[in-house]
Amino acid sequence: MNGDEAFHIGCFGDVRREQAGAALFERVVAAGSLVLREVGRDRAGEMSAHRFLGSAHVTPEEILDTAGKRTAAACAGRRIVAPQDTTEINFSGRDRARRGLGPAGDGKALGFFCHGMVAVDIDGEALLGVVHAHIWTRDDKPITARRSRAIEQKESIRWIEATAAAADLLSGAAQLVVV
């Protein structure tokens, strides 16, 4: 990848934000954590991460798009397995002052869901990055019978969307197996 292509992968509308995003990504990988206190290493680093993530130009969609493009570049020419699964993030008992949560898996506790897909090098077993993620909260409304809803209205559409994203993003891989 040349320097011009690197600029267009996740520039967040500004070269400085692109540099801050790349630095934050590298610190997350090095720390093996998403806890900003740990990722930032010190108060200044933590505040830098907060400012970057709090920018109106830095959206979850742009972060995921950037991660996907970087993963695609790392997968080029390799044999890849792309596992996907759904995780429930449940804030039972810790939901005070949190906004935007919905019913979690038990229907009572508050939380949200993330259906993620990553790329793994088949030969070296190295995790190469995030391919796709869909994050959502459930409504409090009762769910209508599943057989009467179109696939686009079902949560299970996430499996199809992730597979389509892998086919699109990882077309440069020598081989792609979606699990």
Burial of 72 from C-beta contacts in 10 A (0-12 / 13-18 / 19+): buried
CATH superfamily of 74-179: Transposase Inhibitor Protein From Tn5; Chain A, domain 1 (3.90.350.10)
pLDDT at residue 9, as a whole number: 52
Q: Which two tokens stand for residue 147?
A: 């057989």
Residue 146 CA to residue 155 CA, distance in Å, equals 10
pLDDT tens per residue across span 119-165:
999 999 999 999 999 998 888 776 667 677 888 878 889 999 999 99
pLDDT at residue 17, as a whole number: 86
Domain residue limits, the chain: 1-58, 74-179
Residue 162 · residue 152 · CB < 8 Å: no
Asked if pLDDT for residue 21 goes beyond 50, the answer is yes
Judged by average pLDDT, the poorest of 27-31, 91-95, 102-106 is 91-95
